[in-house]
């Protein structure tokens, strides 16, 4: 506890520093608040309590932030313990957000920290309006896109009240990045979708006929066999029974092709597309995110403008640059897109194009044209009703130049996509 106050005192001294040879300089803003006052009243939301989130929470608590909330829908797995240092073996199976908050509370009792064991999509709009800024430590691009779209929408709807800076961090092995997103002012996350690594995929013909790697056998079990045997049940990468089933089936197939190396960890990594994590990279990126939060809240120094890239692959390299805002962005730009496809393209292939296009990168798009439902992913009844349209050509379903309404789990609002025939 004593060390916590020492850290707090160190931050206070830093925030009280004045530049030499400057007369008449005041550390008080128009509301008579000092940088220390701004820090004390800041309310910060940390999204994700994993590798990055643990580091960020620790840094925030030791940097003078007094009101912290953390939200995460995940529970602690044994494989997390090598880098997510707020957890212990006895915590396996417990909610990450709750355990992380309890640890910070014990270590820094002067900090108010509140946990939320929920999906970010479950929280109402008013929840997000209550924060000074948001720090994302997520390993899911889909979740990062969703919160980015939500906060950009809050600015449009509520003006300055909805303005919540987002500090977004991400790591992949020995590489990492951090960015400061000022909604409606600079580039949002969707403006730079091409910066993010695509999910590793394997040719279906290789998976089905000539597997050469353990990953091919795992994909065969999870992508081809699971839907065939369990047509009404979705494979859950966090369910041990599901993953053990995949391991069993993949191992049997691997034996037929003299392939070795299949285990539970690899199977879960392939199913969930887990990105390799290194604790030290998490620490570097989390430190940048926390420093940017401190600067944004207190205005003690200029904040990052607006993207930082770190690489430790060959030596050490770090570079920052202002990523330009995209006027055609689907979230903060005109919210419209276009596709040009042959008229005989099946609707199912149009949906695939929306998934694979670097512009859209949608996960499970639902399509409609006016009052006509072309294809709905959910609910089950509507999916079954619109499923026959998947095999139909787009020329049968609508005219060239038609503007479709598209919704997707990665977005908080719909977007318009104009399809022309080539």
Q: Which residue numbers are catalytic?
A: 205
Structure tokens at 389: 């349209």
User: Which residues, 6+ apart, have CB-to-CB distance to 180 below 8 Å?
Assistant: 165, 166, 167, 186, 292, 296, 303, 304, 305, 306
Question: Does residue 408 contact residue 362 with C-beta atoms inside 8 Å?
Answer: yes
Which three-class secondary structure state does DSSP give residue 71? Answer: strand
For residue 183, count CB atoms less than 10 angstroms from its CB and return exposed for 0-12, middle for 13-18, buried for 19 or more: buried
Distance CA 386, CA 411 (A): 22
- Residue recorded with tokens 């909805």: 162
Q: Rounded to 5 degrees, what angle do the CA atoms 121, 125, 129 make?
A: 125
Distance CA 342, CA 111 (A): 59
Number of neighbouring beta carbons within 10 Å of residue 127:
15
Distance CA 282, CA 287 (A): 8
Compute the Cα dihedral for 94, 96, 100, 101 and give only its sign. Answer: negative
Q: Rounded to 5 degrees, what angle do the CA atoms 24, 29, 31 make?
A: 135
Question: Does residue 177 contact residue 285 with C-beta atoms inside 8 Å?
Answer: yes
CA distances from 4 to 9, 62, 67, 99, 109 (A): 9, 6, 15, 20, 9
Structure tokens at 364: 């499970």
Q: Rounded to 5 degrees, what angle do the CA atoms 236, 240, 245 make?
A: 80
Which three-class secondary structure state does DSSP give residue 99? Answer: helix
State in Å, rounded, how far the first CA of the chain is from the last one: 68
Centroid of chain to Cα 59: 20
Structure tokens at 126: 């008013």
CA distances from 353 to 356, 360, 417 (A): 5, 9, 12
- Residue recorded with tokens 């050490």: 316
């Amino acid at each position: 506890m004593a060390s916590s106050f020492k850290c707090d005192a160190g931050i206070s001294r830093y925030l009280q520093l004045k530049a030499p040879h400057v007369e008449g300089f005041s550390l008080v803003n128009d509301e008579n608040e000092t940088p220390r006052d701004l820090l004390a009243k800041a309310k910060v939301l940390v999204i994700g309590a994993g590798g990055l989130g643990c580091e960020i929470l620790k840094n925030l608590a030791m940097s003078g932030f007094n009101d912290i909330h953390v939200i995460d829908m995940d529970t602690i797995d044994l494989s997390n313990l090598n880098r997510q240092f707020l957890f212990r073996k006895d915590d396996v199976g417990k909610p990450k957000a709750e355990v992380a908050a309890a640890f910070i509370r014990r270590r820094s009792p002067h900090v108010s920290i509140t946990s939320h064991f929920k999906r970010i999509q479950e929280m109402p709009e008013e929840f997000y309006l209550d924060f000074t800024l948001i720090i994302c430590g997520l390993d899911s691009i889909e979740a990062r896109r969703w919160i980015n779209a939500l906060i950009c929408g809050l600015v449009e709807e509520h003006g300055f009240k909805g303005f919540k800076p987002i500090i977004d961090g991400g790591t992949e092995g020995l590489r990492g990045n951090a960015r400061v997103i000022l909604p409606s002012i600079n580039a949002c996350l969707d403006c730079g979708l091409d910066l993010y690594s695509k999910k590793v995929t394997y040719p279906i013909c290789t998976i089905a006929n000539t597997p050469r790697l353990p990953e091919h056998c795992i994909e065969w079990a999870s992508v081809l066999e699971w839907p065939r045997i369990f047509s009404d049940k979705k494979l859950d990468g966090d369910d041990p029974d599901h993953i053990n089933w995949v391991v069993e089936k993949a191992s049997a197939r691997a034996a037929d092709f003299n392939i070795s190396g299949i285990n539970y960890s690899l199977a879960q990594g392939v199913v969930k597309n887990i990105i390799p994590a290194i604790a030290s990279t998490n620490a570097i990126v989390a430190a940048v995110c926390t420093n940017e939060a401190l600067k944004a809240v207190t205005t003690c120094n200029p904040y990052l403008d607006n993207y930082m890239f770190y690489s430790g692959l060959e030596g050490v390299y770090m570079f920052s640059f202002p990523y330009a805002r995209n006027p055609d962005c689907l979230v903060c730009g005109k919210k419209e897109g276009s596709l040009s496809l042959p008229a005989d393209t099946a609707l199912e292939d149009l949906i695939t194009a929306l998934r694979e296009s670097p512009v859209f990168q949608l996960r499970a798009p639902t399509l409609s044209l006016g009052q006509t439902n072309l294809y709905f992913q959910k609910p089950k009844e509507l999916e079954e009703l619109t499923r026959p349209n998947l095999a139909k050509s787009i020329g049968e379903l609508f005219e060239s130049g038609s503007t479709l309404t598209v919704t997707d789990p990665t977005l908080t609002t719909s977007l318009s996509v104009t399809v022309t025939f080539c």
